[in-house]
Amino acid sequence: MNDVLFLAHTDAGGGLPRAALETLTAAKDLAGALGAKLDVALFGEGVQAAAGATAGAGARRLLVAAGPELSQPRYGSDAAAATALARASGAGIVVAPHTSRLARVMAGVAVRLGGRIDTHVTGLAGEGGALATRWFYRQRIEGKVRRKERPWILLVDPGTAAAHAGSGAAPAAEPVRVSVTDADQRTTVTGTKQPGSGKSTIRPDAKLLFVAGAGWTKKQPDGAPHPDVAEKLILEFIDAAGASLGSSKSLVDQAGEGQKTFEFMSHLNQVGQTGATPRHPKGLATCCHGEEPHVVGWRFVGQRRAVNLDAGCGWARGKADVLYVADAFAVMAKVNELLAAKK
């Protein structure tokens, strides 16, 4: 009952998402800690290429579900595939990456299997049986969860384990038949749309999180706001540094108030209590006050630095490792100049 199944979908065109490779490490370690067997199950387009990436994980069985009807990320066919694969394995613990594609379907899969699910899992251990760690109450309380019900589905958050590096040969793939009904195929994915200008500024794998606050659009020491200069400095920096762009709530809320805002920003960039809690090794906040509802979103950022004109801002009160009391316009112009010279 405590055997472990690692379940994932492929990326469009084949291969596995990084979050899946990280979750495979967590699943493999859990199976090892429990002395349990590990199965690998994959569905979607290009399962053969993806199967190679799971080699070396020590899987007993490699179950695959492929076919044109499973290539689209849609609820009906994804839920049918995940259910069929979990049934074919029969494992009591199903570990899957918390990608948006699986987050959408796995609660339904748990119901179909008569099991239970926990999401946003940040750690797995085999202490006296399977034990999952996750955070509650907007990342303020860390809890440990055990469940008697099986199958127990665990969706593991990205950035919480090292990615598995495939080596050697994967076991022979066992195709699993998935019954996909016409109703399961009612939805057709016609494309994807990005908010704002279409420029992708959210990069979960980036080493640096660069946060822009509302100060970028406020009156500056010369008595005038300079949003156009700000826009150029921010975009230049995130492109040159390959950084991910975060925002304070005040900055992204300005759009609703008809004030100048940045087209490449949306509420998806917001970090904090009512925004995201990203995991980057380093973070740099600029023109952002560092109030608690914002900084709570920095919980998992390794090293925190901030640039603010105000020496008494929130960052100065134990929230940043380093606070530069300086004009962010001048600092970022200089940093961009140095980055350009390095190219």
To ligand FAD, the closest distance from the beta carbon of 227 in angstroms equals: 12
Amino acid at 9: H
Regarding 157 and contact with ligand FAD (CB under 6 A), the answer is no
187 neighbors 74 (Cβ within 8 angstroms): yes
Round to whole Å and give the CA distance between 7 and 44: 11
What is the C-alpha separation between 312 and 168, in angstroms, rounded? 56
Which range in 29-37, 110-118, 142-150, 212-220 contacts ligand FAD by CB under 6 A? 212-220
User: Exactly one of 98, 328, 335, 336 binds ligand FAD (CB under 6 A); which one?
Assistant: 328
Closest CA to 114 of 147, 144, 145: 147
Give the interface segment with ligand FAD, choosing from 46-54, 172-180, 188-196, 323-331 (CB under 6 A). 323-331
**Number of other residues whose CB lies within 10 A of the CB of residue 1:** 11
213 binds ligand FAD (CB under 6 A): yes
- Applying CB under 6 A, among 86, 176, 180, 313 the residue interacting with ligand FAD is 313
- Residue 57 gets which letter from DSSP? S
Confirm or reject binding of residue 298 to ligand FAD (CB under 6 A): no
Least distance (Å) between residue 83 CB and ligand FAD: 36
Rounded CA gap, 164 and 21, in Å?
5
Q: How far is the CB of 233 from ligand FAD (least distance, A)?
A: 10
Q: By CB under 6 A, tell whether 273 contacts ligand FAD.
A: yes
Q: What is the DSSP string of 190-244?
A: -----STTS-----TT-SEEEEE-GGGGSPPTTSS--HHHHHHHHHHHHHHHTPE
Per CB under 6 A, the segment of 40-48, 53-61, 150-158, 292-300 that binds ligand FAD is: 292-300
Candidates 197, 274, 281, 317; binder of ligand FAD (CB under 6 A) is 274
Stretch that binds ligand FAD, among 43-51, 171-179, 234-242, 326-334 (CB under 6 A): 326-334
Q: Does 288 bind ligand FAD (CB under 6 A)?
A: yes
Q: Does 248 bind ligand FAD (CB under 6 A)?
A: yes
Cβ proximity to ligand FAD: between 147 and 289 the closer is 289
Taking the C-alpha atoms of residue 342 and residue 336, their distance in angstroms, rounded to an integer, is 10
Nearer to ligand FAD, 198 or 312 (CB): 312
Lookup: tokens for 100: 């948006």
Q: Helix (H, G, I), strand (E, B), or coil: what is residue 77? A: helix
Number of residues that bind ligand FAD (CB under 6 A): 30
How does DSSP classify residue 185? G
Q: How far apart are CA 210 and CA 245, in angstroms?
A: 5
**CB of residue 284 to ligand FAD, shortest distance in Å:** 12
CA pair distance 219, 317, nearest whole angstrom: 25
- Binding residues vs ligand FAD (CB under 6 A): 213-215, 218, 220, 248-251, 270-275, 287-289, 291, 293-294, 297, 307-310, 313, 327-329
